Amino acid sequence: MTDADTRSLGERLFGGYVPKLESVVDDLVMGDVWERDELAPRDRSLVTIAALMTLGSTQQLPGHVRRGLENGLSVDEVKEVLVHLAFYIGFPRTINAARAIREVLETAEPEAAGPEAAGPPSAR
């Protein structure tokens, strides 16, 4: 295992450059906000992906889409967020978001694409 595999998210983001931000990300964001019981991880991912798309934060989108797929979102659900938000955030932001997450969605495991992507039940 490499250092990158064992470092915290804060360490990977800031690499020791801003230690306080590392601790805020690790302790507050990941250790408290993402662990609260009021929203399921899947729902937190959906909200976060929508917020990042709205803000035009395309650099953060691929990682959050990956996490969303790990948290139970399907590829089709993530694509539907793009369609739904297009009318609220504008097409330029939607296009940029779609470009930012395309590779993540195209390389997602078949299970993340939803049951229809795996073929008929007899083929599974």
Per residue in 52-87, pLDDT tens?
A: 999 999 999 999 999 999 999 999 999 999 999 999
Do 105 and 76 share a structural domain?
yes
Do 14 and 65 share a structural domain?
no
pTM over 0.75: yes
Question: CATH no. for residue 65?
Answer: 1.20.1290.10
Please state the domain count of the chain.
2
Do 98 and 57 share a structural domain?
yes
CA distance 52 to 59: 9
Nearest CA-CA partner of 47 in 84, 12, 95, 10: 84
Amino acid at 83: V
Name the pLDDT band for 118 (thresholds 50, 70, 90): very low
Q: Domain containing 60: what range?
A: 41-110
Do 21 and 50 share a structural domain?
no
Domain membership of residue 120 (yes or no) is: no
Residue 36 pLDDT > 50, yes or no?
Answer: yes
Q: Euclidean distance between the first and final Cα of the chain, in Å?
A: 33
Which tokens hold the place of 5? 């595999």
Domain membership of residue 115 (yes or no) is: no
**pLDDT at residue number 82:** 97
Average pLDDT on 102-110 reads 89
Do 104 and 56 share a structural domain?
yes
Do 106 and 67 share a structural domain?
yes
